[in-house]
Amino acid sequence: MKPELLSPAGSMEALYAAIEGGADAIYIGGMKFGARAFSKNFTLDEIEYATGYAHMYGVKLYVAVNTLIYDNETAEFLDYVKRLHKIGVDAFIMQDIGMIDLVRKTLPNAEIHVSTQAHIHNLDGVKLLEKLGIKRTVLARETSIEEIEYIKKNSDIDLEIFIAGALCISYSGNCLMSSLIGGRSGNRGMCAGSCRLPYDLVDEKGKVINKDKYILSTKDLNTLEYLGRLIDLGVTSFKIEGRMKSPEYVYIVTKLYRHAIDTYLETGHVDIDKKLLSDLTKVFQRGFTKGFIFNEDNNNFINNKRPNHQGVEIGTVIDYYKGSIKVKLSDDLSLNDGIRILGNNDIGLIVTSMKLNGSLVHEAHKNDIVYIKVDDKVNVNSKVLKTKDSKLINTINKDINLKNRKKGIDISFKARVGSMSLTIKCGNDIITSTSDKVYEALKVPMNIEDVKNKLSKLGDTVYCIDNINIDITDNLFINIKDLNELRRDAINKLTEKRLEPIPYVESTYSIDVPNYEKACNVNYKVSSIDILSKLSNYHNIYVDDINLYNKIPNSIYILPRVSMNYPDIERVEVTSINGLNKYKNAITGPFLNVTNSYAVAFLHSIGVSLITLSYEMDYDKVKLLIDTYHERYNKHPNLEVIVYGYIEAMISKFNLLKYYNLNEGNYYLVSKFKNKYPIKIKDDKMIIYYDEIRNDTSDYFSIGVNNIRLDIENNTDLKNLSKR
């Protein structure tokens, strides 16, 4: 099976680049509800144009509406999705389980792809989505090739995986760092890139362990060498990350993977175009990793030197004098190139003036010695990197603007005296145009080559002829004007047919939910039986240790957030969508990211007995959710809010302690603002905690919350508890 190559576009220019690079499908975001709020993005008018433009080339267009939605936004969200569906976009990429349920019921013809933000990483999660009629899921980027193979063999849903581009250090949809530190939620499309900032790793005595600072900044994913295995698995779609990237990046990375996929399908061998790969490193790269999909070694996952474009080395500073550096080049350099000079503080600049042998030059080459003006002092022997290749960028843009990509068509033409027909086939689309303007030749009859020549003139259309078949009898005459008119009519009909949107069907949302009695329950999460003995008047006890669960009667076991196999026990808290397929009377935890009443209703409708709201819900949002739920369903929900405890801000398959050969102990990340974030290794995953304890004293019972939870880890927490 030929996999879909899915490319990103954060602007119309990037969309053109993706199409010319060879994308089969493109994913974009609108001005609202997309997980890349800071890319240029598309207006509704631009999405309508982009949809038609992409469809002309046989390219599908998916729109990311994959943020969490609050109740005051749900009406606007649904209206927005309806408008996009009428435009004819091919699918919606979504995270929010409430909005997924709303859209699938309201717009039955809309295709839904579940975002990687939903944290689908095992067969149980995929099976639940199958039951909901979801067309496709984007698996978590940490899902191993072995697990993907297992999922594929045991499910029928389309699978989409990332094959190239930037990686998050945290499991997507499970990172609260940006939200907690700066109020910019990654789950709401406003990630501030906290993982790309500098940190110290310190022990409990304050000793700094690391030298390089960017210890959470990942390399970029590159799976070129492994594409054959992924193709053989039958994965539906190969996704390139990069909606924040330039059109030049989108073009090169798309073209690179297009070539690799096509050569494997043709020859059984992946051919990596070394020139394109080199060009990619010049346009943007942080170093490459094969990623955890191919079980990357823990120590080859991050680039601790710098979080931005690494560039390529092109020379060494051999002298510095009065604002000018003398550089011996190891590669070409041109005016308007961007360079970075490495040092204690890197210096970046655009080359606007360059001397070679005492003369100003526009370009210089390997082994040349050039002089370049700089504003800062530079140390001799500093390495010089090229971060922008102006000639390459100009060449790429020329290639994009040529619009050489065409859509192949098969033409069949038949003519007899009094009738002619032109049939065009493009993929699954077939149209026919006819005319009666065919005459018996009085002088020179038309021949096959004449007809073929006229029908082949497709001008600036997106079409090119793959095959043409001409069937005419002898002694015919057709006016050139009439033949051209027949061709134009056929091409117009074909285009209209190919641009027909998916039939718009709107249905009524309905759901059956239970009614829960109002209550005022206080629940605790504990780390030991000793702590439990000091508590009283509690309703539920949560534990995240299976041994502790077995020792405490009627306790609730919090499932690991990343799990391939679930234990056969009854009282569990499900930490993601993945566990909902197995446990029919589960409690859901805060990392299932419930932020609206539709999500609450959906979970209750499938048997979830208690729903813990997202950490990103404040008092006012919780009140709005409950009030809206009462108004829409005339029922009362069973909700829980965590009001006390340290928050797991990030969970990662990457292990910093292993990277620095440290035994487990008390270690912390320290930011440049001296914030101190505790690190723990749990279930073989690295957990980074927010440095401030959550201590919310709002009266949630008064607004209809049935349960509040306090996470008690030690005696200090017990002392704080006594003060509440």
pLDDT digit string (tens) for 362-393?
999 999 999 999 999 999 999 999 999 999 99
| DSSP conformation letters of 312-378 | EEEEEEEEEETTEEEEEESS-EETT-EEEE-SSS-EEEE---EEETTEE-SEE-TT-EEEEE-SS--
Q: How far apart are CA 691 and CA 668, in angstroms?
A: 9
pLDDT digit string (tens) for 90-131?
999 999 999 999 999 999 999 999 999 999 999 999 999 999
pLDDT digit string (tens) for 291-329?
999 999 999 999 999 899 999 999 999 999 888 999 999
Report which residue type is found at 170. S
DSSP 8-state assignment for residue 45: H
pLDDT digit string (tens) for 27-37?
999 988 875 66
Whether the pLDDT of residue 415 is over 90: the answer is: yes
Report which residue type is found at 632. R
Predicted TM-score of the model (pTM):
0.95
Whether the pLDDT of residue 690 is over 70: the answer is: yes
Query: What pLDDT is recorded for position 184?
Result: 87
Work out the average pLDDT over 5-31: 97
Q: How far apart are CA 435 and CA 478, in angstroms?
A: 10
Whether the pLDDT of residue 715 is over 90: the answer is: no
Work out the average pLDDT over 414-433: 96
Whether the pLDDT of residue 343 is over 80: the answer is: yes
Report which residue type is found at 502. I
pLDDT digit string (tens) for 696-708?
999 999 999 999 9
Report the share of the chain in percent with pLDDT over 70. Answer: 99
Number of neighbouring beta carbons within 10 Å of residue 233? 17
Query: What pLDDT is recorded for position 511?
Result: 98
pLDDT digit string (tens) for 506-542?
999 999 999 999 999 999 999 999 999 899 899 999 9
Question: Binning pLDDT at 50, 70 and 90, where does residue 344 land?
Answer: confident
Report which residue type is found at 714. N
Query: What pLDDT is recorded for position 186?
Result: 85
Work out the average pLDDT over 536-553: 95
Question: Binning pLDDT at 50, 70 and 90, where does residue 557 land?
Answer: very high
Work out the average pLDDT over 19-48: 88
pLDDT digit string (tens) for 594-606?
999 999 999 999 9
The domains of the chain, with CATH numbers, are 4-167+218-297 (3.20.20.70), 312-402 (2.40.30.10), 408-498 (no CATH), 521-646+693-723 (3.20.20.70)
Q: Given CA atoms 170, 131, 3, 122 in this order, what sign does their dihedral have?
A: positive
Number of neighbouring beta carbons within 10 Å of residue 102? 24
Report the share of the chain in percent with pLDDT over 90. Answer: 90
Query: What pLDDT is recorded for position 181?
Result: 86
What percent helix, strand, coil does the chain show, rounded to 5? 30, 25, 40
Query: What pLDDT is recorded for position 37?
Result: 61
Work out the average pLDDT over 75-83: 97
User: How many H helices and E strands in the chain?
Assistant: 19, 40
Query: What pLDDT is recorded for position 57?
Result: 96
Q: How far apart are CA 202 and CA 659, in angstroms?
A: 14
Work out the average pLDDT over 416-424: 97
The label of the residue with tokens 């927005």 reads 80
Query: What pLDDT is recorded for position 584?
Result: 84
Question: Binning pLDDT at 50, 70 and 90, where does residue 421 land?
Answer: very high
Work out the average pLDDT over 569-584: 93
Question: Binning pLDDT at 50, 70 and 90, where does residue 39 land?
Answer: low
Query: What pLDDT is recorded for position 436?
Result: 96
| DSSP conformation letters of 651-712 | EESS-HHHHTT--SS-EEEEETT--EEEEEEETTEEEEE-SSPEE-----GGGT--EEEEEE
Query: What pLDDT is recorded for position 440?
Result: 94
Nearest to 98 by CA among 406, 516, 464, 513: 513
Q: How far apart are CA 637 and CA 515, in angstroms?
A: 7
Query: What pLDDT is recorded for position 718?
Result: 81
Work out the average pLDDT over 563-577: 93
Question: Binning pLDDT at 50, 70 and 90, where does residue 582 land?
Answer: very high
Cβ atoms 92, 111 nearer than 8 A: yes
Work out the average pLDDT over 251-256: 98
Whether the pLDDT of residue 481 is over 80: the answer is: yes
Mean pLDDT, the chain, as a whole number? 95
Whether the pLDDT of residue 225 is over 90: the answer is: yes
